[in-house]
Amino acid sequence: MSRYEHLTDEQLIEHLRASGESEAEACRNELYSRVYPSIARWCLRLSGNREEAADLAQDVVFRVHQQLDSFRLESKFSTWLYTVTRRTALNRMQSERRHRRNRIDNEKVPEAADTGETALEGMTRTALGERLRATMTEKLEPMEAQVVYMHYVQGMTLPAITQSLGLTNKSGSKALLVGGMRKLRRHLGPWLQRQFAV
């Protein structure tokens, strides 16, 4: 049993700040071990992939360690922690988006053979999937891409996505889904209509 078990997260942080270096380190270890399960659960919801979620959780712990002094004890620590987790996830998505865009820009795109088919109709399913991912990366905002993925790939309902991402706007995830799919239709046209009920 931890000697800090009787303290709330907020009380533990107050104790940490008032303690010497050795005591503060023990408080931090207690705090991180206490909140890590929540961080891991949120990261899995946000990323949808266990390996990515594990990497993301480590990033979040690092960010929390860096930014803990900015927590002002004016709200619940769990609220602040979720905000840090969500921001870290979005930053990672934006970074990956830039990386993929650079990679795509550097790849040589072969010319399509003139078979009478549209370029999209002549592509293999694998190539179409890659085209869809590339279009989402290039043309959609990170949150739009996340909502489209969660709804159409993971099969999550819009209310579940709204709750998972902590969206507080009036229309929740619906506006992000509608905006994202409008952009995809503009760039992928009839093929998108055949693949998804949009």
- For 103-134, what is each residue's pLDDT tens digit? 555 544 444 344 444 444 444 555 556 667 77
Given pLDDT bands bounded at 50, 70 and 90, which one contains residue 190? low
Residue 111 is classified by DSSP as P
57 and 127 share one domain: no
Instruction: Look at residue 130 in the predicted model and tell me its pLDDT.
Output: 67
Residue 137's pLDDT band (cuts 50, 70, 90): confident
CB 30 within 8 A of CB 4: yes
Domain boundary, last residue among 63, 83, 103 = 83
One domain, residues 66 and 130: no
pLDDT grade for 167, boundaries at 50, 70 and 90: confident
Q: In the chain, which residue ranges form alpha helices assigned H by DSSP? A: 9-18, 21-47, 50-67, 77-106, 125-139, 142-148, 158-165, 173-188, 190-195
Q: Kindly state whether residue 93 falls inside one of the protein's structural domains.
A: no
Residue 99 pLDDT class (50, 70, 90 cuts): low
pLDDT, mean of residues 71-77: 90
In-domain check, residue 102 = no
Do 123 and 62 lie in one domain? The reply is no
Calculate the dihedral angle through the C-alpha atoms of 122, 125, 129, 130, rounding to the nearest 10 degrees: -60
**Position 2 in a domain:** no
Residues 152 and 189 in one domain: yes
Asked if residue 34 lies in contact with residue 51, where contact means CB atoms within 8 angstroms, the answer is no
Identify which of 42-51, 62-71, 151-160 has the greatest average pLDDT: 62-71
Asked if the model's pLDDT at residue 140 lies above 50, the reply is yes
What is this structure's pTM? 0.50
pLDDT tens, position by position, 38-65: 999 999 888 888 888 888 899 999 999 9
The count of domains in the chain is 2
Q: Which two tokens stand for residue 31?
A: 């705090």
- Provide the pLDDT for residue 37: 93
Question: Is 65 within the bounds of a domain?
Answer: yes
Q: Which domain holds residue 126?
A: 112-195
